[in-house]
């Protein structure tokens, strides 16, 4: 098979890139190791920056988002038992929108199916090669049959554990990583959210977050030790612990119910540099991971796709390579700013045992400054709604 672009990975970044290239008349195939049901069943975040919504609009897949998404003009930070609102829209003129990543994936899958674009799910033994030359190749097995795809470019959208970054020679890539000494215990339940906007909680027992997926589906998180086991957290214990970290008024309003999904996720910061290797381009989690505190993971993937799709479209329209050559530098400038913000939010709100009582006092002092200073609140708001592309 011969295509112009081979995309490895059918998560949001791969599907979004495929949709934008399809609309531009560029022939692309998506190769995914998992089944479509598995990809669609992954429970992930869903807070979207305006820039991400703009990209989804350009891709023609945002109708349901605009109809069902929850637009938020602010967020709340709770410490010392008191909630304080940060006015995102007032400080920046922008909002964020709650719309689950699962729903975005479904919208993109439906658009790709309607277009009849080439997608291979449950591909086995996926490998890439010759991306340092003029004729890159993707190889895989499907239903016991070997396939080879010749292409001009490969887009590695296959996540942190994917084959694309692992195929790059170690001498050609540098990675930066910070692994945090705790995780997030998350619960998804079909109950009304406890608040109209997100509540970030700094508490002596650990961080907590109250968020949502819709007006009838809530998502709650607790900071927990990395060695915690799901079995040790029945629903009753989770709700009791969450209430203990909330302010009294919020705890009283909390509506609980049986969890429909429960998981523990470790937190890490990770960046791989560069993001281009000959005719291979990394995008999304294949190149970077952020702790979820700043809600930047999906949004960074969308900005990567924005830059990569524009570069490929320009190249096929005119033969130009300037944007392809600039891809890595453009992405990394925005990535490192998001990494900084996510690191700052994580350090501000979580309990770090090694910091002791002094560290906790410093956190409270910084939080007090943050909510009391218009300039500090505006800086948080500017980063939270998303820096410009």
pLDDT, residue 43, reads 67
Cβ count within 10 A of residue 90: 14
Domain annotation for the chain: domains and CATH numbers: 5-73+95-176+268-345 (3.50.50.60), 180-267+352-385 (3.30.9.10)
Give residue-wise pLDDT tens across range 181-237.
999 999 999 999 999 999 999 999 999 999 999 999 999 999 999 999 999 999 999
18/24 Cα distance (integer angstroms): 10
- The active-site residue, picked from 140, 180, 200, 221, is 200
Strand partners, 147: 140
pLDDT, residue 136, reads 98
What is the separation of C-alpha 263 from the centre of its chain, rounded to a whole number of angstroms?
17
Count the helix, strand and coil residues of the chain and give each as a percent rounded to the nearest 5.
Answer: 45, 30, 30
Catalytic, 84? Answer no
339 Cβ contact partners less than 8 Å away, ≥ 6 residues apart: 269, 271, 288, 290
- The active-site residue, picked from 12, 193, 291, 292, is 292
pLDDT, residue 212, reads 94
- The dihedral region occupied by 328, where left means phi > 0, alpha psi between -120 and 50, and beta the remainder, is alpha
- Stated pTM of the model: 0.94
Packing angle of the helix pair 101-115, 12-23 (nearest 10 deg): 40
Containing H/E element for 189? strand 174-189
270/216 Cα distance (integer angstroms): 34
Give residue-wise pLDDT tens across range 101-150.
999 999 999 999 999 999 999 999 999 999 999 999 999 999 999 999 99
- The active-site residue, picked from 118, 288, 296, 330, is 296
pLDDT < 50 stretches in the chain: none
pLDDT, residue 42, reads 76
DSSP labels for 243-294?
A: HHHS-HHHHHHPPP--EEEEEEEEEEEEEEE-SEETTEEE-GGGTEE--GGG
pLDDT, residue 270, reads 98
Q: Are 33 and 4 in contact (CB under 8 A)?
A: no
pLDDT, residue 385, reads 97
Catalytic, 296? Answer yes
DSSP class of 36? H
CA angle 64, 186, 14 (to 5 degrees): 45
pLDDT, residue 4, reads 98
Catalytic, 99? Answer no
């Amino acid at each position: 098979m011969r295509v112009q672009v081979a995309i490895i990975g059918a998560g949001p970044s791969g599907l979004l890139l495929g949709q934008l290239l399809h609309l531009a008349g560029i022939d692309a195939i998506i190769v995914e190791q998992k089944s479509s049901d598995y990809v669609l069943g992954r429970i992930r975040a869903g807070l979207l920056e305006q820039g991400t919504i703009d990209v989804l609009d350009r891709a023609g897949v945002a109708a349901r988002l605009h109809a069902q998404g929850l637009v938020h003009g602010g967020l709340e930070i709770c410490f010392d038992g008191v909630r304080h609102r940060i006015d995102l829209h007032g400080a920046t003129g922008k909002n964020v929108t709650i719309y689950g990543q699962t729903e975005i994936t479904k919208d993109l899958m439906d658009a790709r199916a309607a277009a009849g674009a080439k997608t291979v799910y449950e591909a086995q033994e996926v490998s890439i090669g010759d991306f340092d030359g003029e004729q890159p190749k993707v190889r895989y097995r499907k239903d016991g049959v070997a396939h080879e795809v010749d292409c001009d470019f490969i887009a590695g959208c296959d996540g942190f554990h994917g084959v694309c970054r692992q195929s790059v020679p170690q001498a050609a890539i540098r990675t930066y990583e910070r692994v945090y000494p705790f995780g997030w215990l998350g619960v998804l339940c079909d109950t009304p959210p406890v608040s109209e906007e997100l509540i970030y909680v700094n508490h002596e027992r650990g961080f907590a977050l109250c968020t949502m997926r819709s007006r009838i589906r809530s998502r709650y998180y607790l900071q927990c030790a990395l060695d915690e086991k799901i079995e040790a957290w029945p629903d009753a214990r989770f709700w009791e612990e969450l209430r203990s970290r909330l302010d009294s008024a919020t705890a009283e309003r909390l509506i609980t119910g049986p969890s429909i999904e429960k998981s523990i996720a470790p937190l890490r910061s990770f960046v791989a540099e560069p993001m281009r290797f000959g005719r291979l381009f990394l995008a999304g989690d294949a190149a970077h991971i952020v702790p979820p505190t700043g809600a930047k993971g999906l949004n960074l993937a969308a900005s990567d796709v924005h830059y990569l799709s524009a570069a490929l479209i320009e190249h096929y329209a005119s033969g130009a390579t300037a944007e392809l050559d600039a891809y890595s530098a453009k992405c990394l400038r925005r990535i490192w700013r998001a990494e900084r913000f996510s690191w700052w939010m994580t350090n501000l709100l979580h309990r770090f045992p090694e910091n002791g009582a002094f560290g906790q006092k410093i956190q409270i002092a910084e939080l007090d400054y943050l909510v009391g200073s218009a300039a500090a609140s505006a800086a948080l708001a500017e980063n939270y709604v998303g820096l410009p592309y």
